[in-house]
Amino acid sequence: MKVRVLGCSGGIGGYHLRTTSMLIDHDILVDAGTGVADLPLAELALIDHVFLTHSHLDHIASLPLLIDSVSDLRDKPLTVHATAATLEILGEHIFNWAIWPDFTMIPSPEAALMQYRAIALGQSVRLGERTITALPAEHTVPAVGYQLDSGAGSLVFTGDTTVNDRFWPVVNRIANLRYLLIETAFPNREQRLAELSKHLCPSLLASELRKLSIAAEIYISHLKPSQIELTMAEIQACAADFRPRMLQNNQVFEF
C-alpha cells in the first residue's frame, strides 16, 4: 500500500496546512478534508472509496465537492464507508438538498452517483489485497479509527480521539504494525478544552502511548496551526521515549 498524506492539520492557513485526508494508492481516501482539493481532476476521478472516521467538517469538507466535480467522469458510484451513525448525519445535515444535493438519489436511486456502506466497529473491508478495519475511537460524535493492512505491514490512524482504553488492546494485537498516526490537538495549557472536546494534549498523549506494547513509528496529526511549535515541544518533552514526529503534508508511507 502507498499512503499519501493530503492533509493532517487541525486547521487551515498557509500553503502546507490542509485538514485531514489520506490517499491510499490511487483509489481510496481516508477522510475527505480540505487536502483533497489539491488533487487534479484526473486523480479525483479515480477515487472509488472514501472511508470516513467521523462527520466533523474538517474531515468531510471536500466530499460534497468531490462527487459533484467528477460525477460526469465516472461510470460507477463513489462508495462512502462510515459507521451507520456517521452516514445518518451526512444524509440529514449535508446531502439533504438544503446544504448539498443528495447524490445517493441522483440521477436515480437505482443508478446513484454515490452510495453509502455502513461499517461496524471491528469490521474489515477487503479491497484487492488491502484490508481496512474500523478501530475504536472516543470523540464528541460517533467515530472510528482505521487499520490499513497490506499484508506485509499495517498503518493505524486514530482519527480524532481522546483517552481510549478500548483502542490499545486492539492495536497491540497487530503483529505487522509499522506506523501509528495519532492526534494531538491542543497544548497542555488547554488540557481542559482537550478533555471537553475529546481530543488529546501532550500529557494525555504520553499517558496513552504508554499503553502501546509493540514497536511502531509514531507520527502526530491534527495540530492546531497557531500552536504547532508549542505543542510539538511539549510532546518531545513528555513523550520523548517514543520518538514521535510531526506528520507532514504530502508525506508518503509505503508498506
| Domain coordinates in residue numbering, the chain | 2-254
pLDDT at site 15: 75
- Helical pair 202-209 and 228-238, crossing angle rounded to 10 deg: 40
63-92 pLDDT tens trace: 999 999 999 999 999 999 999 999 999 999
Please state, in angstroms and rounded to a whole number, the distance separating the CA atoms of residues 142 and 136.
Answer: 10
Cross-strand bridge partners of residue 30? 22, 51
Q: Of 169, 171, 156, which is closest to residue 247 (Cα–Cα)? A: 156
Model pTM?
0.97
Q: What are phi and psi of 94, to 5 degrees?
A: -115, -65
| CATH 2.70.98.60 describes domain 2-254 | no
Checking if the pLDDT of 225 tops 90, the result is: yes
Hey, what's the cell of 135? 478501530
Question: For the sheet containing 252-254, what is the strand order?
Answer: 114-118, 78-82, 49-51, 28-30, 21-24, 2-7, 252-254
Residue with grid cell 497490506, as numbered in its chain: 150
> What contacts 127, CB < 8 A, 6 or more positions away?
27, 28, 49
Q: What percent of the chain has pLDDT over 90?
A: 98
User: Reduced to 3 DSSP states, what percent helix, strand and coil does the chain have, rounded to the nearest 5?
Assistant: 30, 25, 45
**Which residue bears the cell 505491514?**
153
Tell me: pLDDT of 53 over 90: yes
Average pLDDT of the chain is: 97
Q: Over the stretch 10-33, which tens digit does the pLDDT of each residue have?
A: 999 987 899 999 999 999 999 999
| % pLDDT > 70, the chain | 100
Q: What is the pLDDT of residue 16?
A: 87
Q: Is the pLDDT of residue 115 over 80?
A: yes
